[in-house]
Amino acid sequence: MKLRLRVWRQKNADAPGAMVTYEVDGISRDMSFLEMLDTLNEELILRGEEPVAFDHDCREGICGACSLVINGDAHGPERTTTCQLHMRSFEDGDTIDVEPWRASAFPVVKDLVVDRSAFDRIIQAGGYISVPTGSAPEAHATPVPKADADAAFEHAECIGCGACVAACPNGSAMLFTSAKINHLNVLPQGGPERETRVLDMVAAMDEEGFGGCTLTGECATACPKGIPLPSITTMNREWLRATRKVKR
Amino acid sequence: MTRTLWGSTVGKKTVMAVTGLIMLGYLVVHMLGNLKIFFGSDEFNGYAHWLRTLGEPFLHYEWALWIVRVVLLAAVVLHGVSAYQLSRRDIRARPSKYVHKRRRASYATRTMRWGGIILGLFIVWHLLDLTTLTVNENAQPGRPYENVVATFSTPYGNAVYLTAMLALGLHIRHGFWSAAQTLGAGSVRRDRALKTAANGLALVLTVGFISVPVAVMTGVVS
Amino acid sequence: MSYTNYETGAPIADTKAPDGPIADRWDRRRFEAKLVNPANRRKHTVIVVGTGLAGGSAGATLAEQGYHVVQFCYQDSPRRAHSIAAQGGINAAKNYRNDGDSIHRLFYDTVKGGDFRARESNVHRLAQISVEIIDQCVAQGVPFAREYGGLLDTRSFGGVQVSRTFYARGQTGQQLLLGAYQALSRQIAAGNVEMHPRTEMLDLVVVDGRARGIVARDLITGRIDTYFADAVVLATGGYGNVFYLSTNAMNSNATAVWRAHRRGAYFANPCFTQIHPTCIPRTGDHQSKLTLMSESLRNDGRIWVPKAQGDTRPANEIPEDERDYYLERIYPSFGNLVPRDIASRAAKNVCDEGRGVGPGGQGVYLDFADAIRRMGRDKVEEKYGNLFDMYERITAENPYEVPMRIYPAVHYTMGGLWVDYDLQTSVPGLFAIGEANFSDHGANRLGASALMQGLADGYFVLPSTINDYLARHPHAEAVDAEHPAVVEALAETEDRLSLLLSVDGDRTPDSFHREIGELMWEFCGMARTDAGLRKALDRIPQIREEFWRRIKVPGTGEEFNQSLEKANRIVDYLELAELMCLDALHRSESCGGHFREESQTADGEAERRDGEFSYAAAWEFTGTGAAPVLHKEDLVFDYVHPTQRSYA
């Protein structure tokens, strides 16, 4: 396959950026999208140009590092991570636009690499159960109904890639935040911190400069792990409940 | 609690949801009242007068109406201010747009902001036109039936009203469902019912409101 | 002096494990170890490098105990460490199934599975701690699979006869890692952990014989800095990426352990690498990494290749009598369920015979046609649906219709930095935990044991044993940044990076990585020979020389520069590869993941030679390309007596 790529290039956080056009040839349909970029980078290095910087690590769809907006879609046209997108999803001769996640809470570091540390700070605000090592009761002391365990798992699947923020026209982190809150709040183990968790994490989310939710549903459509939109509704319910119960 | 509500994006959305639902409830009553126009001038004007005497003798003349007006004004202001502040925040949160454009969210969702602005302007015009009668050229105080006919006898009155009512339908279509989510009332099981309710409300209100100018234009009401 | 002409130095011994009954040793060690007064703990700084299961859990736990932790990871977030990709599960001797499991049985299985090349004391401790890990993780909110009664579900894994594997669908590693990450996040928020993401350790600082800090590079600004502490913990994972293609993450690397080795830490059993039989084969030269498919697939899939060489017909057109179900033929009693190393080697053999399938002939079929006929498509989908989907996404082939193609790939490295019972390396004050150390898996790791070991080390072992070291060095003076050892470590790192940038040759970092990887795969992969290893040992110094002549790294060191990161990691692979080959050459027996063709039984099985090789080989660095010194740690088996494996 022969392709024309238009890639966002930006030297560093402070430099202005622009779309730069590259032609790549000899692309196999079996390549992953990132392997296609590897091919481009090998050529760029040999030509004495700087390769395109992009985040990636496990390349099996679970670490959440890869983060490209391809033809306007976070992670590209398939519902998966960028690393699991293959070139067979494109046609010979296509022009493909590749851009970084866009959100003011995710500033560009270089080219297609952005800083997602805001997500870590949201987790730090309460996305945990306070249980110091060694203090845990016997695992079977608290049975968890299977339905609750499954619901917790469904939300715990979030890989923290940030596609939800990238896809949201408001740059909102509601889906990410709700996934963690719902994972922990549905479990009996998460009960004691149920109210403070949701209040603190939502406050941290606002603090980071993410936008509000207008329920466009773009986040859930882009989510490679299928975190559902009602996750946000559940978080809203938790938040209202906590607001009533906790005096601040 | 107030501080938490007003200080958080989720809280402001709650304010928008609650005020939106208050206005929606009012609109349902308003629309049903409007339909009285089909029973002729006397009945419609009588109904308008009754509104002023509502609650008597417990309430003084027009007090009920003023209470409703105050609540509605507060709702409109809170809804508008929240929307403005949240929108400012949303735009700041996504300052650079993607070079490669593509749209996926529904038309109703995408037009919430513009729809809201249109409705805000419409409310001002609507009050000046049929409440204070400031801009209604042939206005006769105390004769709402005739005033309505007068407004809808002008092309511009019809155009403004029809546009606003279409905007209203779209706004309710996303707004009602969205408010349910914000208030935590949505769920996977209930989603279809909520969407149906939103569409139903949007349709009924739009059709109900539009039926009046259409009736005037077609001469059913004159 | 030639590299292969190594000397054998003084034997090395684990001086920390108490003697006495094995079940009491961990208790005794914890009692005998000195403690640090809780009020004094915050005065101690501990550096932890890596945030995977081992590093994340260690950082969180040390901080909970009151130590000041300074932690590093190269990823943009501690949540992305490669432990996240582990699929299968985590073993624990809970005996919830009442199926005869016990701590002793898990201990026994692990020693035996490791082909008698692990330390009994360590493995027994691991089995003891396994039960506490499950308690801890459940309390953290890890959503393990549950039964309808609300209790935890377990399954049998990797051919063991008890159901002791706890799991969270196919994403157990992810869920356990997020548990550790959340615990760590809590400590970061509390100010007890100073977290440095996107910061890569490039050297170890050893002052007056003790590990006192690291040299690390901020990957965004390129700034190289030194960080000091009272002890350093390496939790940097395995070195499988020396093979270029592996199931490791793209950026997993050996730099931290290798630099520690260069500073005096012994490297033990580097040749022990695990090759996993069920990975998705490569599709061409562009392949950048390999993806594992859970080995549970072998429970119902049948593995075969065409009987004839070079048969290019599509699988479904090859009639039954022209197919060779080679595992069922060679190992009639275990069939497709033979251990990982045997299944891997058999696949290699049939492909070497020219009977491999798929692009490049590097693959064998894993066929579910029989299973679908027997159980129905729905049942197969219920059991393996997510794996089939993953396979189809990557290969664009529907495994319900055509057989899957699989091929072995490098998956885990049992070797690593030598550590004693306290998990301390041969450099005082330097600890290694998780896959970075060599300890518990011997020559072969059992399925679902890696997660167990990482968390055992991080949550329970290290936080107990490091006290002893810190208590014995209570008033360590602050490290002087002008100390010659510090200045030298910093200068060496800076010089190395400058040199990489200045060569301006004509080959990319990846081209070298691929070259060394292919060489290692061919000669130090699934089957190793004296001649092949010698060939590799001849070739590696040549590649190294060529590397420093022809490497091309664009950009500068004072910016985000992924090519520079890569090139610097390859520098270390080019040295580590040499040690792996030497270790493989010197160990002329076959054991576990290390198969020497010269040492096999008449029916082609691995032949262990306990008389000569019942030891861990700990290598001491003497210089790049210079013969290292071998220190042997004799392994004594008081409880599990060595037997030869047989699966025929």
Q: What is the pLDDT of residues B168-177, one digit of tens each?
A: 999 999 999 9
Report the length, in residues, of chain A. Answer: 248
B4 touches chain A (CB under 8 A): yes
Q: pLDDT tier at C88 (50, 70, 90 boundaries)? A: confident
Q: Shortest CA distance to C450 belongs to which of C81, C182, C23?
A: C81
- Domains recognised in chain A with CATH numbers: 3-110 (3.10.20.30), 117-245 (1.10.1060.10)
Beta-carbon count within 10 A of C519 CB: 21
Q: Which DSSP string do the residues of A103-158 spell out, in sequence order?
A: -TTS-EEETTEE--HHHHHHHHTT-S----TT-PPPGGGS---HHHHHHHHHHHT-
Question: Number of residue pairs across A and C with CB atoms under 8 Å?
Answer: 218
Question: How are beta strands C199-207 and C90-91 bridged, if at all?
Answer: unpaired
The lowest-confidence range among A21-25, C211-215, C377-381, C630-634 is: C377-381
Instruction: Please say if the pLDDT value at position C337 is more than 90.
Output: no
Nearest of A27, A164, A9, A43 to residue A86 by alpha carbon: A27
The helix or strand, by DSSP H or E, that contains position C25, with its residue range, turns out to be helix C25-32
Position C333 scores a pLDDT of 84
Q: What is the pLDDT of residues C176-202, one digit of tens each?
A: 999 999 999 999 999 999 999 999 999
Cα dist from B80 to B30, B117, C158, C211, whole Å: 20, 9, 62, 62
* Contact with chain A for residue B85, Cβ under 8 A: no
pLDDT at C648: 64
Which is more confident, A10 or B1? A10
CB A71, CB A90: distance < 8 Å? no
Q: Is the ipTM of this complex over 0.90?
A: yes
d(CA A191, CA A204): 20
C-alpha count within 13 angstroms, C-beta hemisphere, residue C461: 36
Whether C634 shows a pLDDT value over 60: the answer reads yes
B193 touches chain A (CB under 8 A): no
C360 pLDDT band, cuts 50/70/90, is confident
> What's residue B138's pLDDT?
81
Distance CA A30, CA C61 (A): 44
Residue in this structure with the two tokens 């369920």, named with its chain if needed: C337
Neighbours of A133 (CB within 10 A): 24
Check if the beta carbon of residue C182 is closer than 8 Å to that of residue A127.
Answer: yes
pLDDT for the residue numbered C474: 76
- What is the model's pLDDT at position A248? 67
Please answer yes or no on whether A244 and B109 come within 8 Å at the CB atom: no
Please report the beta strands in C229-378, taking only residues with DSSP state E, as ranges in sequence order. 231-234, 267-268, 273-279, 302-306, 323-324, 364-367
B197 in Cβ contact with B34 (< 8 Å)? no
pLDDT at C475: 67
Q: Residue C312 CB: number of other CB atoms within 10 A?
A: 8
Q: Angle at CA C226, nearest 5°, toward C221 and C231?
A: 135
Locate the domains of chain C by residue range.
Answer: 276-411, 490-614
Q: List the Cα angle B139/B140/B144 in 5-degree steps.
A: 90
Contact of C191 with chain A, judged by CB distance below 8 Å, is answered with no
Judged by CB atoms closer than 8 Å, whether chains meet at C460 and A133 is answered as yes
Res C340: pLDDT = 84
Residues 113-142 of C with CB under 8 A from A: 132, 134-136, 138-141
Nearest to C230 by CA among C66, C43, C464, C422: C43
SS3 B70: helix
The three-state secondary structure class of C277 is: strand
Quick: pLDDT tens for C496-551. Answer: 999 999 999 999 999 999 999 999 999 999 999 999 999 999 999 999 999 999 99
**CATH tag for C490-614 (out of 1.20.58.100, 3.40.50.720, 3.30.160.270, 3.30.70.100):** 1.20.58.100
- Residue by residue, DSSP assigns C343-397 as HHHHHHHHHHTT---SGGG--EEEE-HHHHHHH-HHHHHHHHHHHHHHHHHHH--
Of A100, A82, A90, A94, the closest CA to residue A7 belongs to: A100
Place of tokens 């300890």: C439
Q: What does the block give as tokens for C631?
A: 């220190």
Element (DSSP H or E) covering residue C259:
helix C255-262
Q: Which chains touch C (3 or more CB pairs under 8 A)?
A: A
Q: How far is CA B120 from CA B26, B76, C121, in A?
A: 16, 8, 76
For chain A, what percent of residues have pLDDT higher than 90? 98
B69 HSE (CA, 13 A, CB side): 10
Residues of chain B contacting A95 with CB distance shorter than 8 Å: none
DSSP H helices in chain A = 33-46, 117-124, 146-156, 163-167, 174-185, 194-207, 218-222, 230-245
DSSP secondary structure code for residue C478 in this structure: P
Any residues with CB less than 8 A from the CB of C572 and at least 6 apart, and which? C253, C254, C255, C258, C259
With beta carbons under 8 A apart, name residues in chain B contacting A217.
105, 109
pLDDT of C492 above 90? yes
Nearest to A50 by CA among C562, C497, C286: C562
Rounded mean pLDDT, C240-268: 98
Average pLDDT over residues A175-186: 98
Query: What pLDDT is stored for residue C295 in this prediction?
Result: 82
Using a CB-CB distance cutoff of 8 angstroms, which residues of chain C are in contact with residue A45?
A: 508-509, 552, 554, 563
Q: How far is A69 from chain C (nearest CA, A)?
A: 18
**Residues 6 or more apart in contact with residue C603 via CB below 8 angstroms:** C648
Spatial distance between the Cα atoms of C559 and B17, rounded to a whole number of angstroms = 47
- The predicted structure's pLDDT at residue C156: 86
| pLDDT tens digits, one per residue of C23-81 | 999 999 999 999 999 999 999 999 999 999 999 999 999 999 999 999 999 999 999 99
Band the pLDDT of C1: cuts 50, 70, 90: low
Neighbouring chains to A with at least 3 Cβ pairs closer than 8 Å: B, C
Percent of chain C topping pLDDT 90: 88
CA distances from C246 to A8, C345, C346, C411 (A): 30, 16, 19, 6
Tell me chain B's radius of gyration from C-alpha atoms.
19
Give the active site residue among C79, C340, C355, C645: C340
Confidence of residue B189 (pLDDT cuts 50, 70, 90): confident
Is residue B213 predicted with pLDDT exceeding 90? yes
Q: Do A84 and C393 touch (CB under 8 A)?
A: yes
**Where exactly are the structural domains of chain B?**
2-93+105-217
Question: Mean pLDDT throughout C420-443?
Answer: 96
Say whether pLDDT at B197 is over 70. yes
Tokens at B70, concatenated: 């105050």
| DSSP states of C144-213 | --B-TTSSBPEE--TT-SS--EE-STT-HHHHHHHHHHHHHHHHHHTTSEEEETTEEEEEEEEETTEEEE
Nearest-CB residue to A119 (from C77, C85, C288): C77
Structure tokens at A244: 């009533």
Longest dimension (CA), chain A: 63
Q: Residue C430 to residues A2, C424, C425: CA-CA distances in angstroms? A: 51, 6, 6
Q: What is the mean pLDDT of residues A13-22?
A: 96
Catalytic (active site) residue C340: yes
The C-alpha atoms of residue A215 and residue B114 are separated, in whole angstroms, by 16
Task: Flag the least confident range among C92-96, C219-223, C333-337.
Answer: C333-337
Contact A248 B3 (CB under 8 A): yes
CATH class, range C276-411: alpha beta
Q: Name the residue type at position C298.
A: R
Closest chain A residue to the Cα of C222, Cα to Cα:
A12
What's the CATH architecture for B2-93+105-217? Up-down Bundle (1.20)
In this predicted structure, the answer to whether residue B134 has a pLDDT above a threshold of 80 is yes
**Nearest-by-CA chain A residue for C84:** A63
B25–A contact, CB cutoff 8 A: no
So what's the pLDDT on residue B139? 83
Cα gap C645→C159, rounded to integer Å: 14
pTM of the model: 0.96
User: Is B184 in Cβ contact with A247 (below 8 Å)?
Assistant: no
B213: closest CA of chain A, how far (Å)? 32
**Cα–Cα distance measured from residue C447 to residue C438, given in angstroms and rounded to the nearest whole number:** 17
The answer to whether the Cβ–Cβ distance between C140 and A28 falls below 8 Å is no
Question: Could you tell me what percentage of chain C is helix, strand and coil, using 3-state DSSP and rounding each to the nearest 5?
Answer: 40, 15, 40
Say which range, B103-107, C576-580, C639-643, has the weakest mean pLDDT: B103-107
What is the predicted pLDDT for the residue at C202? 98
The average confidence (pLDDT) of chain B is 93
Residues in chain B: 222
In DSSP terms, C205 is beta-bridged to C213
At C2, the pLDDT band (50, 70, 90 cuts) reads confident
